[in-house]
Structure 1
Amino acid sequence: MLPTKIFRALLKATPRSVYTTRLLSEDSAAPTRNRATCTLIPGDGVGPELVYALQEVFKAADVPVDFESYFLSEVNPVLSAKLEDVTASITKNKVCIKGILATPDYSVAGELQTLNMKLRNELDLYANVVHVRSLAGVKSRHKDIDTVIIREQTEGEYSALEHESVHGVVECLKIITREKSKRIAKFAFDYAVKNNRKKVTAVHKANIMKLGDGLFLRSCEEMAVLYPRIQFEKMIVDNTTMQLVSNPNQFDVMVTPNLYGNIVDNIASGLVGGAGVVAGASYSADAVVFEPGARHTFAEAVGKNVANPTAMLLCGAKLLRHINLPTYSDQITTAINKVLLDGRIKTKDLGGQSTTQDYTRAVIANIQ
């Protein structure tokens, strides 16, 4: 069962409808002309609980943001809004914060293209950026990890082009194009320049997939020539996974095709504390969708008040910085760091016994 407050909030999302959540009361002194509107997708699993924690923190910090909320789900289609309504909202607002969407089990008949894939393709969210860094107060085997993983997420193995040519033989097509490979490579090098990064590592399997991954790698090599001040290296994906767990500090910015990026994201997230502490974002030319970096719905914990809201709160802080509200972003980030460093309030995934609500209240108490 979901907590009562969250369940009531979800009830407001009537089938194929939209509701707006005001984070400040109507009698607030904040001028409405200075407020921003952000699309909100609670997601599946513990997503609604994490979103509720985010809303409470935003409210406590008097953040001038209104949420235009849509319940979008592939596993709960009766309550789900229409995809076109959601994409229209994101296109209008330019920013979105999103919980993780669950995908039905492979044994369930349905479309090959998942709702996640449809959302990315409709909005052309081609660049997924996950900043993996060590957090003070979170125990891990390695220290001072600070790596950015940039993943192309509109083609590759996630092209939904599969068919059974004869009984018992399935062909799955991996699509790699020069245009999208060069686009993601340019994004990675531009990110490195803008954020004072020193090195870009292209992750590939061109030694085996000579044409597909070969095209991706050549695109990265060609782009590297245009950025002589950024060190460039290439690394085979299986070696990359070994190097990540043995010496992660060697990596700065990584650029990857679709599937490899998904795998590398999760490995790297595990090195710094798990899915509950890593934030991510997906970029198109016109919009940004902020979501946890490691995509797990944690469905087994629904209603148990044990999920770690850190990743979602960090997503919120990143969103605020993106829409030019850095003071609010810093307040929330500083409060999170204080709670983690103090170490008295920890959710189970971090070795403690505190609840989601305990953690949220602790963050709110540290907002200044």
Structure 2
Amino acid sequence: MLRTLARPLIATTPRSIITRSFASTNATLAVSPGEQAAQVRDQTKTLVTLIPGDGVGKELAESVKAVFSAANVPVEWEQFDLSGHVDLNDKLMKETLASLRRNKVGLKGILYTPVSRLGHASFNVSMRKDLDIYASTSLVRNMPGVPSRFKNIDLAIIRENTEGEYSGLEHQSIPGIVESLKIVTRTKTERIARFAFDFALKNNRKKVTCIHKANIMKLGDGLFLNTCREVAKEYSLNGIEFNDMIVDNASMQLVSRPQQFDVMVMPNLYGSILSNIGAGLVGGPGIIPGSNFGREYAVFEPGCRHVGADIGGSNIANPTAMLLSSVMMLRHLGLAEHANTISNAVYTTVQSGHSNTRDMGGKSSTTEFTKAVIAAL
């Protein structure tokens, strides 16, 4: 039996409109009379913002669109070809954010962030901070048909998206001296802790582990740990066990006995590291789905945030993570039947092993894998 996720704790307002694609900074959001008429006529489809991303993003997005079309999913895409390879996308970035604010729901690939370009903010981080999409969830579990070092892994990594070292608050005070700010607040820690415990309740999880470095960063990580402990007391009557673990020990424990973990909640940077470790345990980043939630908005993207620039355009990328992220999106939209149909088709395709991509031990292309999923619908 496949385990399915309950709908997350967030309200959404589906919007109906025709599909529009914005591929350059000259795009406009003006709606013509014809488009307005189409909006009135078509009340059966939900408009979702689509951001293919860089690297393998476009190939993965095309895979999702093909599967949705074959499965007759009542979703229309408003696509924005935003890229992190250029720093002249400010206008398109604003239009993308405006689309997400209208539609409330988005599906997103990973946008490239330059390593050494000063003054160029990560579009991924900016999007999460601007929309206050504060909770990231990456689902790490074994998939039948995918070789892995361990069995019986089924854990959720929940990370705070808007604070900590990963938020990019740094400056050079004088040449040769850089100050990086790590911000931890009780308010935002409390809401991510509640999100983690609510996730555990809704998905029949039994334990929440807080990951921290409070032995060294006694104030910042100490606040995070103590706040999680306080929230845990409120859920003790629900039978959810709580414990905590220092991040370096957690890294070792994750590669030694990953089955001990159920739900893990942590600050942003630790989540980035541990989600990559988790992906390595079960077969790689191509099979880890993910989601990001705020009070008003939800954006779904692969849970292990790899651009895949080295294989972009080669038609060998694994679309499983993107497809399963879109499945989470469909459940969020209340389209459970379509979600289950696509999820079962993906699992059936992977388990058969006939059309698996290279990272799963096969030889098939992205296109061939997608066609196999469509055939299994």
Task: State the match for 2:373 in structure 1.
Answer: 363
**Amino acid paired to 1:109:** L
Q: 2: CA distance between counterparts of 1:72 and 1:41?
A: 7
Instruction: Please say if residues 40 and 97 of structure 1, whose CA atoms lie closer than 8 Å, have aligned partners that are also in contact.
Output: yes
Q: Distance in 2 between the 1:14 and 1:88 partners?
A: 15
Q: Equivalent residues in 2 for 1:176-191 (5 A)?
A: 176-191=184-199
User: Is the 2:318–2:357 Cα contact (8 Å) retained in structure 1?
Assistant: yes
SS across alignment from 1:150:
strand
Query: Among residues 52, 63, 69, which one is paired with 1:53 in the alignment?
Result: 63
2:250 corresponds, among 220, 235, 240, to 240
Instruction: Give the secondary-structure state (helix, strand or coil) at the position aligned to 1:135.
Output: coil
Q: Which residue of 2 aligns with 1:218?
A: 226
- Asked if 1:155 is matched to 2:163, the reply is yes
TM-aligned CA deviation for residue 192 of structure 1: 0.9
Q: What SS does structure 1 have at the residue aligned with 2:84?
A: coil
Q: Give the unaligned 5+ runs of structure 1.
A: 1-9, 20-30
Structure 1 CA distance, aligned partners of 2:89 and 2:174? 38
Q: Which residue of 2 aligns with 1:4?
A: none
Matches for 1:29-178 after TM superposition, within 5 Å: 32-77=42-87, 82-106=92-116, 108-111=117-120, 113-178=121-186
Q: Deviations over 1:212-264 (max 9, x none)?
A: 10000000001011011210000000010111111111101000001001101
Q: What does residue 213 of structure 2 align with?
A: 205
CA contact (8 A) 2:146 2:361 kept: no
**Farther-moved stretch of structure 1 (68-77 vs 213-222):** 68-77
| Contact preservation (8 Å) 1:34, 1:64 | yes
For residues 194 and 22 of structure 2, the distance between their equivalents in structure 1, rounded to whole angstroms, comes to 42
**Unmatched segments (≥5 aa) in structure 2:** 1-19, 30-40
Question: In the superposition, relative to structure 1, how do residues 333 and 191 fare at CA in structure 2: closer, same or farther (>3 Å)?
Answer: same
Write the deviation string for residues 86-114 of structure 1: whole angstroms up to 9, x where unpaired.
112111111100000100122x2324x32
Does 2:298 match 1:288?
yes
Matches of 2:376 and 2:168, distance apart in 1:
46
Q: CA deviation at 1:78?
A: 5.1
| Contact 2:214/2:225 (<8 A) preserved | yes
Cα displacement (A) at 1:66: 0.1
Q: What is the SS of the residue equivalent to 1:202?
A: strand
Q: 1:339 to 1:287 in 2, by over 3 A?
A: same
The sequence identity of aligned pairs, in percent, is 51
User: Partner letter of residue 272 of structure 2?
Assistant: N
- Give the 3-state SS of the residue equivalent to 1:40 in structure 2: strand
Scaled by the length of structure 1, what TM-score is found? 0.90
In the alignment, does 2:308 pair up with 1:298? yes
Rounded to whole Å, the distance in 2 between the matches of 1:124 and 1:274 is 28
1:323 aligns with 2:358: no
- How far apart are 1:18 and its partner, in Å? 6.2
Secondary structure (helix, strand or coil) at the match of 1:69 reads strand
TM-score, length-scaled by structure 2: 0.88
Are the equivalent residues in 2 in contact too, given 1:192–1:200 (CA < 8 A)?
A: yes
- CA shift for structure 1 position 195: 1.3
2:286 to 273, 276, 292: 276
Structure 1 segments of 4+ aligned residues over 6 angstroms from their partners: none
Q: Distance in 2 between matches of 1:342 and 1:11?
A: 35
- Following superposition, the deviation at residue 60 of structure 1 comes to 0.6
Question: In the alignment, residue 95 of structure 1 is paired with which amino acid?
Answer: V
Q: Is the 8 A contact 1:18 1:70 kept in 2?
A: no
Q: Please state how far the C-alpha of 1:11 moved relative to its aligned partner.
A: 9.2
- Distance in structure 1 (CA, Å) of the matches to 2:62 and 2:291: 19
Aligned 8 A contact 1:72 1:80 in 2: no
Q: Alignment partner of 1:225: what SS? A: helix
Q: Is the 8 Å Cα contact of residues 96 and 288 (structure 1) preserved in structure 2?
A: yes
Counterpart contact for 2:24–2:92, Cα < 8 Å: no
Alpha-carbon shift at residue 163 of structure 1 (Å): 2.4
Question: In 1, are the aligned partners of 2:51 and 2:82 still within 8 Å (CA)?
Answer: yes
Deviations 1:276-298 (A, max 9, x none): 11110010001110000111111
In 2 relative to 1, CA 103–248 (structure 1 residues): closer, same or farther, beyond 3 Å? Answer: same
Q: Is contact 1:18–1:81 with CA below 8 Å preserved after alignment? A: no
- The total of aligned residue pairs comes to 347
